[in-house]
Structure 1
């Protein structure tokens, strides 16, 4: 059981109120790969990482969490960065400096599942390769998961993100998005209604709603859970930890189809993923939990 994760790996330079900037390993696909591997799912991350000091730090972090790196060429001159500024409530806003132009991607037929998301699906020229791989994986019957994780500071046009969603979502059996993503993609539609509608079309769908908890729908089943009680240090990587835990739960149950899940099972899944996100919120930077910290 090996999952291929594709997309950006970068350094989050985090600025907290009244403190000096502090670097942390990050990038949504990078965080998902770390989270999956820490939950005992063998994981390969396909990413471009520079040969600089920041790149060394990313490679060390992957190795420390037992993630296999499929290094993509060309090797950039410098590792991508995201400047994350934290508000008093721990929420983060981002500005990015990154490159995504791989020459090629791994063959999805060598893996049990594929996860894509965020800038790796939207930033050209690499996004075109990701879309092609997703189509190929679907044709092979390899489960695909997708988290749009929209970053309007990099691509400010919502129509671009909607076009990406329309291209990738039909090939995905597991979708996860935040309520902010949902508002960009489907403005004005209530999260619960959206989750049910997308589940009827795509499979297992989760929408995270911050302090309002999370929703998961699959087929005709539906679950809504409150957020876990936690002292928030920051929210960096919380959604990625939710995504990783959601995928690890699906891996534990051999990638169930949407019609195999009932309300109780979806509630178990939502609580498991929410617990992972809460643990990440309780410590600085994107630092997802290990299996020993998270009991399904």
Structure 2
């Protein structure tokens, strides 16, 4: 039942006006791994972590959330960081200092599902290994989930992100992106139309829309859900919590194929994921909920 998550683990150094910088564990795959494990899904994170105090903090955070860490070689000289500056509405912009050059990745055959995304799929040279692993997982029949989580602060060329999506998405049965990701990858296309179009080829597809909720589709069903009520602190890690909760829901139902889900089930899935994201928005930094937080 163990899920493999691959990609960047870093420290978000959050700057709020009038306060000292605050370090928080982060990185999209890291956050997804933590979110999954906190929702009682056995999870392994494959990442590069440095031998410094930031790296020690990441290791402690993973252990505290019951995530198993596979530390990929070569060991970087320092742990990757992202300087996050918060706007008045709680949204964050980022500047990155990171390394992603693993020599090898775990075998997907040893896992029930694989999640990839963000810088782990776009930053070379490691992205090439991730792309090869995704193909292998697909051939083996191991479900793949993908969140492009576009970061133009690292790679400003939208065409690079579009090429990554075109390379990874055909092998993924679960896709999630934000409306900002969609605007970069598919400019001008309405999110509701886009999820329907992508779902014709890619299984379960969801697009989060911040204060407008989320849309989700399969080839045969569609659902739109409103945003969950939230006392906003910041949006850091909210999309990753949505992704983790999507995967946890699918794990609970033994990884159903898209054809098995109707609109009612899609609504339940999206509401569960939205609730997880809302809880994360109510907390500083990427701090996803545990199962007990989502239990009525």
Cα distance, 1:295 vs structure 2: 2.8
Q: Which runs of 4+ in 1 moved over 6 A?
A: none
If the length of structure 2 is used for normalisation, what is the TM-score? 0.99
Name the CA distance, whole Å, in 2 between partners of 1:256 and 1:10: 32
Q: Does 1:61 align with 2:66?
A: no
**Residues 259-287 of structure 1 deviation map (CA, whole Å, 9 limit, x = unaligned):** 10000000000000000000000010000
Name the CA distance, whole Å, in 2 between partners of 1:230 and 1:166: 34
Match of residue 177 from structure 1 = 177
Structure 1 alignment gaps of length 5 or more: none
How big is the alpha-carbon RMSD for the aligned residues of Structure 1 and Structure 2? 0.6
Q: Secondary structure at the match of 1:77?
A: coil
Structure-to-structure mapping, 1:264-279, within 5 angstroms = 264-279=264-279
Match of residue 229 from structure 1 = 229
Structure-to-structure mapping, 1:83-122, within 5 angstroms = 83-122=83-122
Structure-to-structure mapping, 1:192-271, within 5 angstroms = 192-271=192-271
- How many residue pairs match? The answer is 296
Q: Secondary structure at the match of 1:13?
A: strand
Q: Secondary structure at the match of 2:104?
A: coil
Match of residue 49 from structure 1 = 49
Q: Secondary structure at the match of 1:177?
A: strand
Match of residue 17 from structure 2 = 17
Q: Secondary structure at the match of 2:11?
A: strand
1:272 and 1:295 in contact (8 A); partners too: no
Name the CA distance, whole Å, in 1 between partners of 2:287 and 2:162: 30
Match of residue 145 from structure 1 = 145
Cα distance, 1:20 vs structure 2: 1.1
Q: Secondary structure at the match of 2:222?
A: strand
Cα distance, 1:82 vs structure 2: 0.1
Match of residue 32 from structure 2 = 32
Cα distance, 1:71 vs structure 2: 0.5
Name the CA distance, whole Å, in 2 between partners of 1:22 and 1:67: 23
1:12 and 1:24 in contact (8 A); partners too: yes
Q: Secondary structure at the match of 2:73?
A: coil
1:8 and 1:27 in contact (8 A); partners too: yes
If the length of structure 1 is used for normalisation, what is the TM-score? 0.99
Match of residue 155 from structure 2 = 155
**Residues 13-62 of structure 1 deviation map (CA, whole Å, 9 limit, x = unaligned):** 00012111100000000000000000000000000000000000000000
**Residues 181-209 of structure 1 deviation map (CA, whole Å, 9 limit, x = unaligned):** 00100000000000000001110000000
Q: Secondary structure at the match of 2:275?
A: helix
Name the CA distance, whole Å, in 1 between partners of 2:96 and 2:125: 17
Cα distance, 1:99 vs structure 2: 0.3
Cα distance, 1:72 vs structure 2: 0.1
